[in-house]
Structure 1
């Protein structure tokens, strides 16, 4: 269940009209994956074809131009249509366009327009990492407010009022509405609005949505497998050792900067992995998941950056492995939050008299116990 806040006063961003999309993480991931895949595929195709030039007679049409056109199409989709249907397509098209654009960054930062500028891969990687970090800061620095949840439900209703709602879209809207308290202003009216939206099973094909649902189901099944914790520890440990060995063999010695960066990042990941394994042995699964997530983030945001400077192939494989591990760990974290929310709602529903029942969120700090101590709780 999504963490919510029901403070009577809206934040500055909400009062300014900047309401967050609850699916922004999915759209950002679609954008980043599309962009990174476009860079890798573009480099592969150009290498296989001998780096041809499109044009002639002094002209050269660089692929940054179709990249800009695709980004323009993505912006036009977002500006020209309302509702949630268009966003997955816009994220995909925009990601492909941005990938074509950033792939030619070597031409923009060198005086001789050198497409083969060696640090290009590291620059591209850092740009995508900064995009993820910046977006993550904007979307996670405070919990999703219930009024933002309600605004997202109304976003679905906008689509339904005009063209009807399919059973799937109506179920998505009902799921979002279910986490909004009945006392939130506009909640009852939104429920009535959804009820009058006509049924219509014709909707824009959304292969990105279908892929996301299949991926999430797969991640959740893998994350809940009995052997998942053991496999996670083994994969993280092997990745740490493999990264250090590859960097040392391919690099120019331990004093070489990329090798030092990979070594420091790998040691940090190893520290978080060991602490996570110890927490897992003590039965503190929530803390273990957070520590494993920190180990993966260090590898993704630090180790792989230096790895790119040493060997791009190993770094690309490491990045893919980090993204898969991050998806598995976040699927497990979301599952635990949903279970915690369901337990809290059940307890609230069965509480009688003056008994005080509280749903406690997962602690933000891995060094905290699974749940903060409450001096007023009975021993």
Structure 2
């Protein structure tokens, strides 16, 4: 049975086709949401927590947060094509950050904005969003028909307003991942070719920021000193996180402090194992272990750190996110090199033996120089 006639998955038959850039959009949403919470708390702290309103009225910032989420939903419902999604992810993330920042008022009987577990609740909510998006995007590989649908998504804007060189290149690159036997590929290629050229497009600061960040991560991750610096940072963090938790938590009896210590020990274990793999010249394996160390810190250590120190733990979270970005950039680069090496077989003799570099070389053609 050919790939074009295999039975579609239930989700695809139900019309739920995944966006190949959903990871970027969800990351934009989460980063903008977390940044909004931190900036909001900082501004309110510096300004003495003013109240907007008067005469018994108080306009909480959850209200503009709801308006921004409404704007993001309206953009997604009102326009087709991929152009609007980065902006909607950014606006929606800011709105959600303003909303979730006031969760303390919603879970306490006295509307306590300063409810101590608020920081941990906010952090766990964003972690669950990330884990849910990762589950939906990785529980099964992207189907070639989903990739083809994403190419058609690019042509949606192209048939109406034309495609710029950058947009056309993105669509062509994605089309190259679709096998020639996938039904509709030839027609999609023709439709993409028929889209008129047009260099007028909306400014895309989110896309530009993503491209700059990816280039920066790749450049920093390939530096010869990058692995050593990663080991040092992970080691310092594994030691420093428990010390900070103990100093703020007033001893080892609190659950949050115990959670930080256990998470730090697990991160340290992965870090040591990664360092040993690095010494054995197994760089890809080492990078994967360092990535596990950072994930344990993000999903366990930082959760308990936020519960104990509240928003003072934001620095450790940001450091983990930067490390995770660098490690994933290096992992992707090493995996590309590994796949390229597998696709490029080494030169061999007819018997399967490597050629003898000392053997005399004879030209196949008299005009061919030796």
TM-score, normalized by the shorter chain, greater than 0.5: yes
Q: Is the 1:6–1:146 contact (alpha carbons within 8 Å) kept by the matching residues of 2?
A: no
Could you tell me which of 232, 255, 258 is aligned with 1:257? 255
The number of residues matched between the two structures is: 348
**Equivalent residue number for residue 325 of structure 2:** 327
Q: Is the 1:276–1:291 contact (alpha carbons within 8 Å) kept by the matching residues of 2?
A: yes
User: Aligned partners of 1:12 and 1:273: how far apart in 2?
Assistant: 41
2:328 aligned counterpart, secondary structure: helix
Q: Which structure has the larger Rg over C-alpha atoms?
A: 2
Q: Are residue 135 (structure 1) and residue 110 (structure 2) matched?
A: no
What residue ranges of structure 1 are gaps of 5+ in the alignment? 356-379
How far 1:338 moved relative to its partner? Answer: 2.6
How far 1:312 moved relative to its partner? Answer: 3.2
What are the equivalent positions in structure 2 for 1:32-181 lying under 5 Å apart? 32-181=30-179
1:62 aligned counterpart, secondary structure: coil
Could you tell me which of 223, 228, 231 is aligned with 1:230? 228
Query: Per-residue CA shift, 1:193-228, capped at 9, x if unaligned?
Result: 111111111101010000000000000111111111
How far 1:232 moved relative to its partner? Answer: 1.1
CA shift in 2, pair 1:345/1:172, >3 Å? farther
How far 1:345 moved relative to its partner? Answer: 4.5
Q: 4+ runs of 1 displaced by more than 3 Å? A: 340-348
**Equivalent residue number for residue 275 of structure 2:** 277
2:17 aligned counterpart, secondary structure: coil
**Equivalent residue number for residue 298 of structure 1:** 296
User: Aligned partners of 2:286 and 2:146: how far apart in 1?
Assistant: 30
User: Aligned partners of 1:340 and 1:152: how far apart in 2?
Assistant: 27
User: Aligned partners of 1:92 and 1:37: how far apart in 2?
Assistant: 11
Q: Is the 1:125–1:305 contact (alpha carbons within 8 Å) kept by the matching residues of 2?
A: yes
Query: Per-residue CA shift, 1:157-202, capped at 9, x if unaligned?
Result: 1111111000111111111111111111111111111111111111
Q: Is the 1:300–1:319 contact (alpha carbons within 8 Å) kept by the matching residues of 2?
A: yes
The two structures, once aligned, show a CA RMSD in angstroms of 2.0
How far 1:314 moved relative to its partner? Answer: 4.3
**TM-score, normalisation: structure 1:** 0.88
1:338 aligned counterpart, secondary structure: helix
Q: Is the 1:54–1:60 contact (alpha carbons within 8 Å) kept by the matching residues of 2?
A: yes
Query: Per-residue CA shift, 1:94-146, capped at 9, x if unaligned?
Result: 00000000000000000000111111111101111111111111111111111
**TM-score, normalisation: structure 2:** 0.90
User: Aligned partners of 2:199 and 2:5: how far apart in 1?
Assistant: 38
Could you tell me which of 174, 178, 187 is aligned with 1:189? 187
